[in-house]
């Protein structure tokens, strides 16, 4: 097989299909991390550098709930999601919001500071040791012929769809969702009609962190937890958000899958190290033709 004069390795269809399916699984993880980010980034216009650190913190919470209390990582969602919301609400209302004085550039630095504090505290309290969760269904799954899909991967895939659907329903069907959209479109106008903007900002941030907490529950059975785990996903999640269109949940989901499949096929043909450049190539390519992202709308 040749591409632009380079000869690429040839693989059987089973390997190519298998790689595509593994790309879908990887994409679902990117989408899970990206949906919370797109809410905060797209709706509030906050570049949340602490997103990866918050993911890591939530993963530790899930790990300790399993390790100390024996709670299954998926059941832990019932605790970490409300906990994540409360933490996110408090973080935005009492730290980020107050410290940034409504200025975007200060917000950016504050979230960066929060990330540094959380990561270093995790290193201090939890040490650098990687911690893995063992669940009884760890190796069980469905044989798809070309590849074997284990239950934790399938759960992440289903979870990414359900979380996206729930967020979409929340934003379009509830009064709070409408208030969030109103604040994102016209902050002063929203204030004039009686919406508490500070409260809505904090609620939005809280929902974003709750999404990250849900993602953490779905990631922990597959990925070991350590203080740097967030950075492994968050940079690609930013790419997914911009690619899908800022503030678009469907965009985050589709963008996640697109990046996941592209990355896996790129790694298959170009090698594990060089293959990741395909993420940047597809990112630039999409933005050249659709500057607002796949599902984004023009501002104003």
Partner 1 sequence: MTRDISNKSRRDFIKIAGATTALTATGVFSPFVARAAAPVKIGIVHPVTGWAQYSGSQARFGAQAALKEVNAAGGIKSMGGAMLEAMLGDAQSKPEIGAAEVEKFNEGGASAIVGAYASNICLATTQAAAKHGIPHVVDVGVSDKIVSRGLENTFRFGPGFGAITKAGVESFLAINKAAGSPTKTVAIVNEETTGFGAGIAKIMTKGLAPAGIEVVEVLSHPTPNKDFRNIVLKLKEIDPDVLIPSHYYNEGVLFLRTLQRQKVQPKAIYSVLGGASSQFRFLSEFPDAAQYVMDCNHWFDPKNPAAKALQAKTNAAGLHFNYEVFLAYTAMMFTVDAIERAGSSNRAKIMEAMASSKWSGSIMPYGPTVMDKGQNTGARPLVTQVMGDKINVISPSEYASTSAVFPRPA
Residues that bind partner 1 (CB under 8 A): 11-12, 14-15, 18-19, 22, 25-26, 123, 127-130, 132, 134, 139, 141, 146-148, 150, 223-224, 226-228, 232, 264, 267-268, 271-273
Q: What angle do CA 258, 260, 264 make, to 5 degrees?
A: 120
The answer to whether 208 and 146 have CB atoms below 8 angstroms apart is no
Nearest to 87 by CA among 123, 120, 50, 113: 50
Q: Specify whether the backbone of 101 is left (phi greater than 0), alpha (psi in -120 to 50) or beta.
A: left
Residues near 173 by Cβ (< 8 Å), separated by ≥ 6?
none
Which CB sits closer to partner 1, 148 or 168? 148
Which CB sits closer to partner 1, 128 or 299? 128
- Residue 58 Cβ vs partner 1, minimum distance, rounded to whole Å: 18
Please give the structure tokens belonging to residue 88.
């996110």
Q: Please report, for the chain, how many H helices and E strands are present, in that order.
A: 12, 4
Which CB sits closer to partner 1, 132 or 172? 132
Following DSSP, what letter does each residue of 70-84 receive, concatenated? ---TTTTHHHHHHHH
- Residue 240 Cβ vs partner 1, minimum distance, rounded to whole Å: 15
Which CB sits closer to partner 1, 209 or 229? 229
Measured distance CA(266)–CA(30) in Å, rounded: 16
User: Token match 């960066």: residue?
Assistant: 112
- Residue 273 Cβ vs partner 1, minimum distance, rounded to whole Å: 4
Which CB sits closer to partner 1, 63 or 249? 63
Which CB sits closer to partner 1, 90 or 275? 275
- Residue 44 Cβ vs partner 1, minimum distance, rounded to whole Å: 29
- Residue 93 Cβ vs partner 1, minimum distance, rounded to whole Å: 31
- Residue 12 Cβ vs partner 1, minimum distance, rounded to whole Å: 5
- Residue 153 Cβ vs partner 1, minimum distance, rounded to whole Å: 9
Which CB sits closer to partner 1, 40 or 133? 133
**How does DSSP classify residue 47?**
-
Distances (CA, A) of 238 to 50, 211, 255, 283: 12, 15, 10, 11
């Amino acid at each position: 097989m040749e591409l632009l004069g380079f000869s690429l390795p040839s693989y059987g269809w089973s390997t190519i299909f298998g790689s595509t399916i593994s790309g879908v699984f990887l994409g679902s993880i990117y989408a899970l991390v990206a949906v919370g980010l797109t809410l905060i980034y797209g709706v509030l216009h906050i570049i949340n550098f602490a997103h990866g650190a918050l993911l890591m913190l939530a993963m530790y919470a899930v790990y300790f709930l399993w390790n100390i209390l024996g709670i299954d990582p998926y059941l832990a969602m019932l605790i970490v999601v409300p906990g994540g919301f409360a933490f996110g609400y408090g973080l935005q209302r009492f730290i980020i919001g107050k410290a940034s004085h409504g200025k975007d550039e200060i917000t950016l630095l504050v979230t960066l500071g929060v990330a540094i504090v959380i990561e270093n505290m995790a290193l201090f309290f939890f040490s650098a040791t990687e911690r893995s969760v063992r669940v009884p269904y760890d190796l069980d799954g469905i044989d798809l012929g070309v590849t074997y899909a284990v239950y934790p991967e399938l759960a992440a895939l289903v979870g990414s769809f359900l979380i996206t659907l729930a967020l979409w329903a929340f934003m379009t069907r509830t009064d709070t969702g409408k208030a969030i959209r109103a604040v994102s479109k016209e902050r002063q106008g929203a204030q004039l009609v009686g919406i508490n903007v500070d409260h809505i900002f904090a609620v939005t941030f809280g929902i974003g962190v709750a999404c990250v907490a849900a993602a953490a529950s779905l990631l922990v059975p597959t990925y070991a937890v350590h203080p740097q785990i967030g950075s492994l996903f968050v940079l690609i999640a930013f790419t997914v958000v911009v690619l899908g269109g800022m503030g678009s949940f469907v965009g985050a989901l589709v963008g996640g899958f697109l990046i996941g499949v592209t990355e896996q096929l790129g790694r298959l043909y170009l090698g594990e190290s060089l293959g990741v450049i395909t993420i940047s190539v597809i990112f630039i390519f999409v933005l050249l033709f659709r500057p607002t992202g796949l599902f984004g709308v023009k501002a104003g």
